[in-house]
Amino acid sequence: MSSIPNNVRPLGPVVIDIENITKDYVMGEEVVHALRGVTLKIHRNEYIAIMGPSGSGKSTLMNMLGCLDTPTSGRYEFNGKSVAEMDDDELAAVRNREIGFVFQTFNLLPRSTSLRNVELPLIYAGIEPERRMERATQVLTDVGLGDRIHHKPNELSGGQRQRVAIARALVNGPSIILADEPTGNLDSKTGEEIMDLLERLYERGNTIILVTHERDIAAHARRTVHLRDGLIELDHAGFIPELDLPIAEMTST
Amino acid sequence: MKRFLYELSESWKIAAAQMRSNLTRSTLTALGVIIGIIAVTLMGTAVNGISIGFDKSMAVLGDDVLYVTQWPWKPVDDWWNYRDRKKIKTEYAETLNRMIAATPNSKLVIAVPTSSFMRSIKYSGNQVDNVFVLGTTSDFIVTSTIDCTSGRFFNELESRGGANVVMIGYDVADALFPSQSPIDKSVLINGQLFKVVGVNTRQGTFLGLFSWDSMVAIPLAAFNKYFSAKSDSDVRVKIKDKTKLADAKDELTGLMRRVRGLPPEKKDDFSINEQQAFKSTLDPVKNSIAIAGLFITGLSLFVGAIGIMNITFVSVKERTKEIGTRKALGARRRTILLQFLIESTALCLLGGFIGLVFAYLMCFGIGKAFPSFPIHFSLGLVFLSMIVSIMTGLFSGFAPAWTASRLDPVAALRYE
């Protein structure tokens, strides 16, 4: 089991402030309470892992944090601005500028080069072509793909694709990077490389929210939040094997 | 605004990439629009040509000439009221001319009598049947669009004296004198020799409407001498100012009533016609051809548009996850709407352009193969069909694009 990370960076101001949010889904006749009242504060330059079994509300919380969805009730402030009442286009603007998404399945545009993929958020932000090109090339070089900018996704390995996706997440200088199972589709060696990249980004001052069910991935974070049945079960600093490993596994060790 | 432009150019790039990567599908879909645009453009060209042909034929009548005839130039339900009218006599022209000269500030210039008959014309073994032989005076040239390519119209002397001279139409000249100049040759009309003094310029025929190409004109005196029998006569009167047509018509009506000696309580027993009246009976025909033709060809374009709509729906479905990703990266509803609208419009524009090229080539081919068919390919038509293509694209792309723009990002991202 990986060791507890030691270099914890000082906390910045609050980026995400969630208070008692709930989310209900109507599934036919039934109402599913995906979140039952979650309160959470995330500071700038935190590295936080959100864990939980499937059905715990983990994905729903991630969608909330990523402004892809709005809560049924409760308060959500992003950089001091209330998100809960925003309309579709305002949410799109927040996602564009404040949130960098990294998906398990990379979600690159298959027929576009790395450069064009990374440029996309800049296009939506209305940046002029020369600056777009310059910035995207810079970020791709930062993630170690300076020589792959004109390659299309099918000419890249899984790890390289995820790097492109991370570059795309970073390109607009977002307040948070929201990574949903970023190593889920990668072998463990490549997965570790991606985690090293995220670690570097954290050290350079980025705020990282990791959504995962894998313990050794979550172990990279400086703070771990456990969800169960739509509620926060545990929220603590670092990664504590006694708390974060399931009972069965602990007894066997 | 700037952002909108970037999104616009991005959308065009995506559309181009999309068409390239689905080449077969795009081609087949565009085919519907190609066929539609070819059909609409060709029909538009034909309608245009028909309209021009009508106007050209109509120009023979002249827009500043009134025609005094027994029958009106419009369909009548009570034909029996016209049948028993007295025939129009060529002598009226002389009487009218005296009256015109005696009227101060007359709106009329001159009256010219015409008589006509269908006859065959021969010249050394060549023969043309059913030629429209017109007997008139040398003043005729004032009331018509006669313009001799070679030679001249007969002069006043020949006119008065009833000389055996003739001016022939282009087609008649072409048939009788395939390889020599007709001037000063003598042709045989109804057993009488007539010397050719002039050949009229080619006017072209259209839909069997009258044309000078198959007519000949001889002095009225000669006409009466040889074919005095039952010919149809009328009098044409040139007016001074075609903007005061109604006044001129009133004046002529008054003069004709005096010529005929009609008491005030009696109705007119003649008709006064002008080009416009003829036009107004032909215009509905022209318009219904245009409307029916464009409607039918428009249907084929509509079918093409449905093909585009269908393929855009498929495209939206296939790329649901991509739409989710784009939304996560900050694409707004408008962005997505624009993207798919441009994809369908690009497809339609491409189809429209290809269709136009084909239509142009076809017009060119038809024009070469059948020179008499009035085909008219105008720049306006090119412009119009491009507009129609864009409208088709917008129309067919709107529903799928709207669906795409309304997709819930969470559901779209989860879509496999």
Residue-wise pLDDT tens digits, B327-365: 999 999 999 999 999 999 999 999 999 999 998 898 888
- pLDDT reading at B416 higher than 90: no
Which chain B residues are closer than 8 Å to A89 by Cβ?
332-334
pLDDT given at position A245: 58
Q: Which of A111, A129, A168 sits opposite B17 (nearest CB)?
A: A111
Cβ–Cβ gap B2/A120 under 8 Å: no
The minimum CA-CA distance between B312 and chain A, rounded to whole Å, is: 18
Cβ–Cβ gap A124/B329 under 8 Å: yes
In a domain, A210, yes or no: yes
Q: What is the DSSP string of A144-158?
A: T-TT-TT--GGGS-H
Lowest mean pLDDT: which of A184-198, A229-243, B279-293, B364-378?
A: B364-378
- pLDDT reading at A58 higher than 70: yes
Nearest chain B residue to A91, by CA: B330
Cβ–Cβ gap B325/A112 under 8 Å: no
- pLDDT reading at A252 higher than 60: no
Cβ–Cβ gap A97/B330 under 8 Å: yes
- Whether residue B327 lies within 8 A of chain A, CB to CB, comes out as yes
Which chain B residues are closer than 8 Å to A167 by Cβ?
none
Cβ–Cβ gap B6/A95 under 8 Å: no
At A172, list the tokens: 């607009």
The minimum CA-CA distance between B22 and chain A, rounded to whole Å, is: 11
The minimum CA-CA distance between A14 and chain B, rounded to whole Å, is: 23
What is the rounded CA–CA span in Å between residue A180 and residue A35?
18
Cβ–Cβ gap A88/B330 under 8 Å: no
At B93, list the tokens: 């022209």
pLDDT given at position A160: 95
In a domain, A74, yes or no: no
Cα R_g (chain A), whole angstroms: 18
pLDDT given at position A253: 41
Pick from B5, B329, B414 the residue to mutate for testing the A interface (most A CBs within 10 Å). Answer: B329
- Whether residue B396 lies within 8 A of chain A, CB to CB, comes out as no
Return the higher-pLDDT residue of B45 and A37. A37
pLDDT given at position B107: 85
With cut-offs at 50, 70 and 90, classify the pLDDT of residue B373.
low
What is the rounded CA–CA span in Å between residue A185 and residue A110?
17
In a domain, A88, yes or no: no
Q: Which of A97, A121, A126 sits opposite B2 (nearest CB)?
A: A126
Nearest chain A residue to B3, by CA: A126
With cut-offs at 50, 70 and 90, classify the pLDDT of residue B192.
confident
What number is the ipTM of this complex? Answer: 0.90
In a domain, A40, yes or no: no
- pLDDT reading at B96 higher than 50: yes
In a domain, A81, yes or no: no
Residue A29, helix vs strand vs coil = coil
Pick from A88, A130, A139, A185 the residue to mutate for testing the B interface (most B CBs within 10 Å). Answer: A88
Q: What is the mean pLDDT of residues A239-243?
A: 64
**CB-side neighbour CA atoms (13 Å) of B167:** 28
Which chain B residues are closer than 8 Å to A125 by Cβ?
3, 330
Q: What is the mean pLDDT of residues B2-12?
A: 84
In single-letter form, the type of residue at position B35 comes to I
With cut-offs at 50, 70 and 90, classify the pLDDT of residue A4.
low
pLDDT given at position A2: 44
Nearest chain B residue to A97, by CA: B330
- pLDDT reading at B309 higher than 80: yes
Residue B102, helix vs strand vs coil = helix
Which chain B residues are closer than 8 Å to A111 by Cβ?
17-18, 21
Residue B351, helix vs strand vs coil = helix
The minimum CA-CA distance between A113 and chain B, rounded to whole Å, is: 12
- pLDDT reading at A211 higher than 90: yes
pLDDT given at position B207: 55
Which chain A residues are closer than 8 Å to B10 by Cβ?
123
In a domain, A6, yes or no: no
The minimum CA-CA distance between A188 and chain B, rounded to whole Å, is: 24
Q: Which of B6, B21, B332 sits opposite A92 (nearest CB)?
A: B332
In a domain, A85, yes or no: no
Cα dihedral sign for A119, A122, A128, A132? negative
- pLDDT reading at B204 higher than 80: no
Determine contact, residues B121/B127, Cβ cutoff 8 Å: yes
Kindly report, residue by residue over B120-163, the tens digit of the pLDDT: 888 888 888 888 888 898 888 888 777 777 888 888 888 888 88
Chain A residues within 8 angstroms (CB to CB) of chain B: 63, 66, 68-69, 88-89, 92-93, 95-97, 101, 103, 107, 109, 111-112, 120-121, 123-129, 168, 172
Nearest chain B residue to A121, by CA: B329
The minimum CA-CA distance between B407 and chain A, rounded to whole Å, is: 11
With cut-offs at 50, 70 and 90, classify the pLDDT of residue A241.
low
Return the higher-pLDDT residue of B403 and B156. B403
Return the higher-pLDDT residue of B54 and A16. A16
Cβ–Cβ gap B333/A92 under 8 Å: yes
Number of residue pairs across A and B with CB atoms under 8 Å?
71
**Among candidate residues B359, B376, B294, B353, the one with its CA nearest the CA of residue B45:** B376
In a domain, A78, yes or no: no
**Among candidate residues B107, B114, B176, B121, the one with its CA nearest the CA of residue B139:** B114
pLDDT given at position A101: 95
Angle (nearest 5°) at CA A113 between A107 and A116: 80
In single-letter form, the type of residue at position B296 comes to I
What is the rounded CA–CA span in Å between residue B134 and residue A49?
104
Percent of chain A predicted with pLDDT > 90: 70
Residue B392 to residues B135, B253, B349, B360, B412, Cα–Cα distance (Å): 57, 54, 9, 20, 28
Domain count of chain A?
A: 1
Which chain A residues are closer than 8 Å to B320 by Cβ?
none
What is the rounded CA–CA span in Å between residue A43 and residue A175?
10
Kindly report, residue by residue over B42-94, the tens digit of the pLDDT: 888 888 877 777 777 777 777 788 888 888 877 777 878 788 888 888 888 88
- pLDDT reading at B169 higher than 80: yes
Return the higher-pLDDT residue of B252 and B51. B252
Cβ density class B93-112: b for 16+ within 10 Å, e for less: bebbbebbeeeeebbbbbbb
Lowest mean pLDDT: which of A34-38, A132-136, B373-377, B385-389?
A: B373-377
**Domain extent for A134:** 46-59+97-252
pLDDT given at position A210: 95
Angle (nearest 5°) at CA B215 between B210 and B217: 130
Which chain B residues are closer than 8 Å to A103 by Cβ?
325, 413
Return the higher-pLDDT residue of B145 and A71. A71
* DSSP secondary structure letter of residue B101: H
With cut-offs at 50, 70 and 90, classify the pLDDT of residue A3.
very low
Lowest mean pLDDT: which of B73-77, B104-108, B184-188, B387-391?
A: B73-77
- The pTM for the full model equals 0.73
What is the rounded CA–CA span in Å between residue B109 and residue B103?
11
Q: Any residues with CB less than 8 A from the CB of B264 and at least 6 apart, and which?
A: none
CATH classification at residue A173: 3.40.50.300
Cβ–Cβ gap B329/A109 under 8 Å: no
